[in-house]
Structure 1
Amino acid sequence: MARHSYFCPIRWSDMDVYGIVNNVSYLRYLEEARVDFIFRMAPNDGDAFFKDGSVVVEHRIRYRRRLVHRPEPVEIEMWVSGLQSATVAIDYVVRDGDTVYATASTVMAPFDYRAGRPRRLTDEEFRFFEKYLEQTAAAG
């Protein structure tokens, strides 16, 4: 099983009035990390999972520790925790070394925007996600 890491910068605009990363900013961090991860599927042609359509079905985030603005990026480690014919679950740990700031999970589904309905994962998509499949639950 493989994991993917993305090093996400903390922007001043991510802070709330209390001087910590706002909870909504975490969703942006996870999206940046997920896009970086999924674009590895077809880097030359653009990613099939986004090109052919996908939607976020669910997000779960558990905040563990306050994250404040700093010059160093925060690491977002991710892996696939669930894979079915029409959904993929991606788990994350937002960390700096041994310090865990949050754990999270996103469930995504392939979606055919032209037809306006869900679709199944293609064989290529399934094989890509399967390489990162690891049966754990980060957000739970």
Structure 2
Amino acid sequence: MRHIYRCPLRWADMDAYGHVNNVVFLRYLEEARIDFLFRPEKDFKQGSVVARHEIDYKRQLVHRHSPVDIELWVTEIRAASFTLTYEVKDDDLVYVRASTVIVPFDFEAQRPRRLTPEEREFLREYTDDEEEAVAA
């Protein structure tokens, strides 16, 4: 299953050419990630940090008033990290493909932690293919 976030485009997001600035896409991914992880019914209450981003720009997104869709799903689950993959798109037109490695983090102890069984179960619901998820 994939999580879909309807991301609004803002006037300040565009560059001098009227396109959404490449750096802004990282904020869009953050908004989609927060919308996915921090919902009332499924909350990563203990916290997490981003360990790595990879982003492939496929085409320019021209500023407009309608939102763009961000599809997000889980591609890997490990003992103490997981990978989210994204497509920023309109129907079949993809602007960006990206991935983020996220590490669960205990802010009180100031160290990484393992995923809880509840977090693992939640993440498994969003794998496109159960065989892709690595049970560690």
Is the CA contact (8 Å cut-off) linking 1:55 and 1:111 kept in structure 2?
yes
Match of 2:13 in 1: 14
Does 2:124 align with 1:125?
A: no
Residue-pair matches, total? 130
CA-CA distance at 1:3 after TM superposition: 0.7
Where structure 2 has 5 or more consecutive residues not aligned to the other structure, the ranges are none
Q: Distance in 2 between matches of 1:96 and 1:64?
A: 13
CA distance in 2, matches of 1:63, 1:87: 25
C-alpha distance in structure 2 between counterparts of 1:57 and 1:16, whole Å: 27
Counterpart of 2:33?
Answer: 34
Task: Write out aligned runs for 1:89-104 (5 A).
Answer: 89-104=83-98
Amino acid at match of 1:107: V
Q: How does the TM-score come out when normalised to structure 2?
A: 0.90
Contact 1:83 1:133 in 2 (8 A): no
User: How many Å apart are 1:85 and its aligned residue?
Assistant: 1.0
Q: Structure 1 counterpart of 2:2, which letter?
A: R
Shift of 1:134: 2.8
Which residue of 1 is the match for residue 67 of structure 2? Answer: 73
Q: TM-score, normalised by structure 1?
A: 0.88
RMSD of aligned alpha carbons = 1.4
